[in-house]
Structures are given as structure tokens and as C-alpha cells.
Amino acid sequence: MIKTDNEQWPDHWIELFGHFHDTLFQHYDEALSGTKHIVLKMQSFWEYFSRLFSNPHKAHKIIKKARSISAYHEAVRTILAGERV
């Protein structure tokens, strides 16, 4: 979008966002110690990420409920799957 000076979202933006998110998570997983630190760091990003989705409040609420890495990943999968529908 920025590179082409175009405001239209690509059709596969969910996949692009998923790859970006996974890369970001992986780097924080390597840099931070403890699951709580990683989950809290990633949850803070979702204040902004949630605005990309059709129901930002619901997306952010789902993420905020996650207390473990597995619950966090499940929340992300739920949000991304909901947008694919």
C-alpha cells in the first residue's frame, strides 16, 4: 500500500498480517524471558492491531483475556479466522 501509493488493501491482507505478527512474536520470544512478558508485550500491540479488523473492540477483548502463550495464539487464530469468513 505505501510502496505503491495506493489506499486499497490487498485481498490477502490477513495472510500478510499473520506473517508480520508471527515474525514479531518470534523476535520477542527470542528477546524476552518468561511467558508473561511476551504476552503482555504482544497484547500492547493489539491496541493498534485491533483497528484493522471489522470489530476492533471484540478483537482487543479476546486478546486481553489471554494469560498464556497458548491462549494468546488461540486468540490470534480466532481473530484471523473470523476475518477470513
Task: For 15-46, write each residue's pLDDT tens digit.
Answer: 999 999 999 999 999 999 889 999 999 999 99
pTM of the model: 0.84
**Which are the contacts of 66, defined by CB distance < 8 A and separation ≥ 6?**
39, 43, 72, 74, 75
**Which are the contacts of 26, defined by CB distance < 8 A and separation ≥ 6?**
none
Give the residue with greater pLDDT, 2 vs 12: 12
What is the rounded distance in angstroms from the CA atom of residue 22 to the CA atom of residue 18?
6
The per-residue pLDDT of the chain, averaged, comes to 90
Residue written as grid cell 479466522 = 81
pLDDT of res. 85: 44
Q: What percent of the chain has pLDDT over 90?
A: 78
Q: What is the pLDDT of residues 42-65, one digit of tens each?
A: 999 999 999 999 999 999 999 999
